[in-house]
Chain A
């Protein structure tokens, strides 16, 4: 028929459009996204292979070579115990990424379930959840994280829990809003007619459509989570020594800046900043990748 001929010419251009092709397209489209994904690859590389590749044991002290400025032996200098800052910075990547990814994943899952239920069924469930989220939001979030950590003790798991708790409201609200505007959408109705139960409609039809805006939130939160962990370390509630972690290194190094040993804080700080920067810039690209409508 008439439209068939019009559309058949497009078919050829569709052929190469696999998921990879789509990702490549998204990357090419925006130089900033390209940059972000490049840096992400770098950080992931550090996380996976870093510990095997670093020149020094990140925990080994060497009092004789303490506080040396950057040199060929020690690219980022050494700290007050003579540990190699470069090795520590690289090795810390794994822990920092783990903390942020785990925390965000946890809050993503919990927030999504709560928010989706509230947005879909509404009513008292929605009202109760909203009040609960308001209550969490009414806490100064950083102080809440501190409190949780102080109460539970400062282990890596608890840092993850504390960070996850303060992030839940963001996801729950976002998902609630996204689900709410779609709960009476035509495709949701159609899915019901196709014999899907409410839960299936919610989980397999409505919720996936909330993913693109959530990806932006995820990327921002990945960055926040790292900053949050760093802030907790600055207060003294972070990861236990001598485990290398960027925040704790910046926090400890900060006291050395004025005395001229700038490399202690600046390199981990720079690394931390780059990682957060990467995550923050990632958002738009991630959103475009999970959004089928961006496929052409």
Chain B
């Protein structure tokens, strides 16, 4: 039904022309779901924008043919394209809340599309829009019709986006990272919904994702893209069991999954033996009845409702939960960026919660508790070079300066695998993985005893994630640090952590050694989390 031949797309940028897509060909049959998998910059999204002809300014299709149901989409007039978009080919996007017009009622946004494509008249548009909402399993659709996006949850917003896309019964649905920005349980619900609807309507679908596991679960066929080219094409099973292209192999390896070891994520040629880290019996951190309550507009918000746990010296503890579970608040209190409402944080037996966060920078324990932030980009000052970011804690706390400090920065860069020339760069000149390394180097600069890792790999591509996770494992063994690893990704936690805590709505619902909790979840919520995580087919042992 859709056929792309030798498609090439270029972008004009400040540095000249950039080839985003360099001649790809693919077909999507009727009722088929094609997964396009690739890491950031692989050209997978650009391909979809190109076929919809909604490339951003500066983008241009240079070559190739795109035919859809016999229509030459490349040659079609803009007017015809507008008729095709939304009626024949629809798209859903990542970050659903941003994908909706924030100041227009969701019902009206659906109505706009219906009226535009003559699927409804002004009289029955509302009714049809409500029907479209019902079709995506929105409860109480008539009431939701009048809601604004900000009044809906992320999952609900994605349902609305899907409703907009499917309102006119298109033949092809392009889903561009539809689960990014959603909680793990919501992800599953949304993907199941899209899959069901596509199947029920006999609709073709292109699923664009960076997550090989997700694609393998929902796609009939998968193409793997790298640097604007298709490197491999096949069914999920063949891709996982018998990847041909080295890049596919790397990708498959790097995808965390049950049964994998941390080293197995790396490409075979650079694998080394996994270091052993030693866990002492001495508790390094002892959190007792930690409570955080914020004053809210409608009464106090109980973010953390009395949490107690311990981390032993050298131990890695995973803290798992979805957004709003209180995991970030908990970690910020431990790292002393926030003051708890009540409770104690004993670090080496000393109650560090007694020193207010505002004065904690002069506390001797400051150098012993450090943190790696979730968003490496956000956590680096855009005005500071990598070197000065890494040097900052040394100059402020350790009082190092001059050549000593420079040497130490170089040493740390070496340790985290950051090439020396990059040290003089600004964050925006670094890739995501490089920024993550800078963040880690900064956090370990003072050789802390406890490192809090707040989803350190969430924004990274899987192959980079594999490298960073292994780096963390190496550092842990080498420096004897304890980790508090905050994450929503159970597969990652499983690889890295000795023990795990599951938090929900400010409380710990499940807790214990990782294998126990993951293998035999006691709490239904833990089970739901585990079930929701996409599980790629097991590859043959490499």
A and B touch in the complex (CB under 8 A): yes
Q: How many A-B residue pairs have CB under 8 A?
A: 104
Assuming the contacts A189-B373, A197-B361, asked whether A3 and B379 have C-beta atoms less than 8 A apart, the reply is: no
Q: How far does the alpha carbon of A76 sit from the alpha carbon of B434 in the complex, in Å?
A: 61
| Interface residue? B425 (CB, 8 A) | yes
| Segment of B72-80, B392-400, B495-503 in the binding face | B392-400
| Interface residue? A135 (CB, 8 A) | no
| Interface residue? B162 (CB, 8 A) | no
| Interface residue? B419 (CB, 8 A) | yes
| Interface residue? B417 (CB, 8 A) | yes
B373 touching A196 by the CB < 8 A rule? Answer: no
Contacts of A45 in B (CB 8 A): none
A292 touching B392 by the CB < 8 A rule? Answer: no
**Closest chain A CB from B228 CB (angstroms):** 14
Which residue of the partner chain B has the closest CB to A208? B383
Contacts of A187 in B (CB 8 A): 378-382, 384
Q: How far does the alpha carbon of A190 sit from the alpha carbon of B441 in the complex, in Å?
A: 12
| Interface residue? A293 (CB, 8 A) | yes
| Interface residue? B200 (CB, 8 A) | no
Which residue of the partner chain A has the closest CB to B15? A296
Chain B interfacial positions (CB closer than 8 Å to A)? 14-15, 270, 332, 335, 337, 357-358, 361-362, 366-367, 370-371, 373-375, 378-384, 389, 392-393, 396-397, 417, 419, 421-422, 425-426, 428-431, 433-434, 439, 442-443, 463-464, 467
Say which residue of A8, A192, A197, A209 sits within 8 Å of B337 (CB atoms).
A192
Q: How far does the alpha carbon of A47 sit from the alpha carbon of B530 in the complex, in Å?
A: 72
B378 touching A186 by the CB < 8 A rule? Answer: yes
B419 touching A7 by the CB < 8 A rule? Answer: yes
Q: Which of A230-248 contact B (CB under 8 A)?
A: none
B442 touching A190 by the CB < 8 A rule? Answer: yes
A191 touching B358 by the CB < 8 A rule? Answer: no
B interface, by DSSP: helix, strand, loop or mixed? helix
Q: How far does the alpha carbon of A185 sit from the alpha carbon of B15 in the complex, in Å?
A: 30
Q: Which of A137-196 contact B (CB under 8 A)?
A: 185-187, 189-196
A189 touching B337 by the CB < 8 A rule? Answer: yes
A295 touching B429 by the CB < 8 A rule? Answer: yes
Contacts of A259 in B (CB 8 A): none
**Closest chain B CB from A98 CB (angstroms):** 30
Assuming the contacts A187-B378, A187-B380, A194-B396, asked whether A293 and B426 have C-beta atoms less than 8 A apart, the reply is: yes
**Closest chain B CB from A200 CB (angstroms):** 8
Shortest 8 CB-CB distances between A and B: which pairs? A186-B379, A195-B396, A194-B393, A186-B378, A195-B397, A187-B381, A194-B392, A186-B373
**Closest chain A CB from B417 CB (angstroms):** 6
Which of A11, A194, A208 has the most chain B CB atoms inside 10 A of its CB? A194
Say which residue of A3, A189, A208 sits within 8 Å of B464 (CB atoms).
A3
Contacts of B375 in A (CB 8 A): 186
Contacts of A6 in B (CB 8 A): 431
| Interface residue? A20 (CB, 8 A) | no
| Interface residue? A4 (CB, 8 A) | yes
Q: List 8 A-B contacts (CB under 8 A).
A: A7-B419, A7-B434, A11-B421, A187-B381, A190-B439, A190-B442, A192-B361, A193-B337
Contacts of B417 in A (CB 8 A): 1, 4
A195 touching B379 by the CB < 8 A rule? Answer: no
Q: Which of A1-51 contact B (CB under 8 A)?
A: 1-4, 6-8, 10-11, 13-14, 29
Q: How far does the alpha carbon of A8 sit from the alpha carbon of B422 in the complex, in Å?
A: 9
Assuming the contacts A194-B396, A195-B366, A292-B383, asked whether A185 and B378 have C-beta atoms less than 8 A apart, the reply is: yes
Which residue of the partner chain B has the closest CB to A293? B428
| Interface residue? A198 (CB, 8 A) | yes
